[in-house]
Amino acid sequence: MSSSPRSSTPSLVETLRRQVVPVLVWVLLALVLRWAVLEPRWIPSGSMLPALQLQDRVLVEKLRARLHRPIPIGTVVVFHPPTALIAAGYDPKAALIKRVVGQAGDEVEVRDGVLWRNGSKAAIDWSAEPMDYQLEPLTVPPDHLLVLGDNRNASLDSHLWGPLPQEALIGTAVLRYWPLNRLGWLRISAKGHPPGTTIELG
């Protein structure tokens, strides 16, 4: 007596394996990318006007910070609040966004409304307008950055709480992806302008 032929219909387990496993792999890959490589963020304040508008969406690249690579002047960085802001009540998990204007070893000051770096006026600046405050000459310590908002006169930044420890960095903002009519690479579109002038950025 011969046995009955095996059904050619895939089993439920086989079907789930074929359909669910690839989805799980993609979800896992997306989570790894978000944790280690790229992370979307939105702009909650006007401290980076005019380069970044309220509610703009940006992609933050995280590898440079994780690998402790140098952060060039002019880079827009996203970071956790430093100790001074946490002591003032900021959520340690919050994310702030500013622009790097001084690297470790640079002497930075603000005088007569203008940013000075290492004894000379900064050749390129991103300030929305002349600064209405003074910053005494300050040498940026090792493993720190000096960061200011582009909207200098309405930004809670290094001129108030000092240099930013690089260990607080989340990453560098590289791409504005929303709104679509302002889509663009931040490092390319936000070129800055000579001190004492203003220009719409981005």
Which member of 4, 8, 45, 98 is catalytic?
98
Tell me if residue 158 is catalytic. Answer: no
Provide the 3-class DSSP secondary structure of residue 117.
strand
Tell me if residue 191 is catalytic. Answer: no
State the amino acid at position 44 in one-letter form. P
* Closest by CA position to 97, among listed 126, 137, 70: 126
State the amino acid at position 57 in one-letter form. R
The token pair that represents 82 in the structure block: 């430093």
The token pair that represents 193 in the structure block: 């302008």
Which member of 2, 3, 47, 189 is catalytic?
47
DSSP letter for each residue of 41-96? EE--SSTTTTTS-TT-EEEEE-HHHHTT----TT-EEEEPPPHHHHHTT--TT--E
Hey, which residues are catalytic here? 47, 98
